[in-house]
Chains A and B, each alone.
Chain A
Amino acid sequence: MLKREVVIDYILECVRELTPEHDLPVVPDSNLIEDLGLESIKILDLLMMLEDHFDLSIPINILIDVSTPAELATALITYLENHHGLV
């Protein structure tokens, strides 16, 4: 059972870890690329971190239309609901 707040908190923690070069505020609505300068490959790495932390398979396909941590959490939870009946 995954709670949205838990997912978002962990996403924010990962994003901070992936952007050690700056101390910009990382919030749920930060644009991962435009605001935080996260390269596309790092967004894929972020997904791997989520897979390992929550011990789930999460295809990179869910990243279509994801540009913020909040959108990523929504996409992840929607995927899990549709494919595993989780959440």
Chain B
Amino acid sequence: MGLYDGFSRLAEERQVFQGAGLNPFGTCIDEIYSATRGRIGDRQVILAGTNNYLGLTFDADAIAAAQAALANQGTGTTGSRMANGSYGAHVALEDELAAFFQRPSAIVFSTGYVANLGVISALATPKATVLLDADCHASIYDACALGGAQVIRFRHNDAADLERRMQRLGEGARDALIIVEGIYSMLGDVAPLREIVDIKRRLGGYLLLDEAHSFGVMGETGRGLAQALGVEADVDIILGTFSKSLAAIGGFAVGNDRAMDVLRYASRPYIFTASPSPSAIASVRSALRTIARQPQLRERLWQNAHQLYEGLAALGYQVGPHVSPVIPVMIGTKEQGMRFWRALIEAGVYVNLVLPPAAPSGVTLVRCSVSAAHSPEEVDAMISAFASLRDQNILGTAS
């Protein structure tokens, strides 16, 4: 048996999408001009398939901070924090994150994926029970598998379903870990966090909230969904990433108990990973200051979200359930999705094609994401591109 024979079915499926033209699962953005503009092949595109919610990838302060760190501290740390030591900037960023969240404890990880893997796998031991939203990110599932916990899924965003499953656990519910996300990455919908907190108050458990897509996006100062709903005190650990609103790479956890620090000595993904590079840490520290100083970025982001969401809905497209910086547009079949995605690039707009099972509920969708850096004219141009595809009947659905 060949080394890759077990992947033959997957390879065949992928081949279908690689046949003619651009491959949505291996897109090369040949040039990046700004937070919102790039080139794919010979086509200049508006970038609407990113997670660059606050548009800080080209922020002048962040770039200057990263350049200075590169010059003064070098290109990489070449080792893990446990074995090779932390840099002062790692510790400083942790202090700044703890202060930003007004929590006693913060740990920085090398990516958002590793943050979830590191924290959850350490807590989700074989003796633990985890209740997770069915649509949780793969990193959360992977973390539970690594930890070996008993994993019970509940229906997406269905607090009553969570409660039913908690009740089935009986006394075991008191120690269960409940894991949900702030904004879900594919549909842009938001966890019913108040209802979930209410269940936790009544039945017990610990609540972990992944604010990867909601940090910087929601809440009065950008701390995320828990802040927006006024339930931060009930969330035991908030997980997040540096690769979306903070526009770099890395991840973090902030806890409401100083004891969380012990995870540094229990979390294999923390212990055995090289620490984030000085330039990434420097740009994140700068971006964090910018988020605190410029709430207008969040306002602009939501204006853009409303403009795009309402524009697409007015064209008759089936969009997601809520106005959100993540705006999914439901497309029929995989083949229609492929055609539509390629036609959008031809029309100058880059979005993400998402097929089931990555897209929930068996739907094919194109995932649009807006940024505070998009100008109103760019959002109009996106809407015009969708309008032209509708007029050309790219989906082949007109009678």
Contacts and interface: CB of A to CB of B under 8 A. Distances in A.
Nearest to A79: B150
Contact of A60 (B152, B164, B165, B168): B152
B150 A59 contact: yes
Interface residues of A, number: 18
Contact of B152 (A40, A41, A42, A57): A57
Contact of A40 (B9, B151, B168, B357): B357
A29 interface: no
Interface in B138-152: 150-152
Contact of A57 (B9, B155, B169, B357): B169
Interface string B356-382: 110010000000000000000000000
Size bin of chain B's contact surface: 10 to 19
A43 to B, nearest CB: 10
A44 B154 CA distance: 10
A58 B153 CA distance: 9
A41 B150 contact: no
A56 interface: yes
Contacts of A47: 153
A51 interface: yes
Interface string A50-87: 01100111111100000000000000000000000000
A48 interface: yes
Interface of A is mostly: helix
A35 interface: no
Contact of A51 (B129, B151, B165, B357): B165
B235 interface: no
Contacts of B360: 41
A44 B153 contact: yes
A13 interface: no
A82 to B, nearest CB: 12
Given A39-B356, A39-B357, A56 B150 contact: no
9 contacts: A39-B356, A41-B357, A42-B357, A48-B155, A51-B165, A57-B168, A59-B129, A60-B152, A61-B150
Interface of A: 34, 39-42, 44-45, 47-48, 51-52, 55-61
- Per CB-CB distance, the 8 closest pairs between chain A and chain B, nearest first, are A59-B150, A41-B357, A39-B357, A57-B168, A60-B151, A59-B151, A57-B152, A59-B152
Interface of B: 9, 129, 134, 150-155, 164-165, 168-169, 356-357, 360
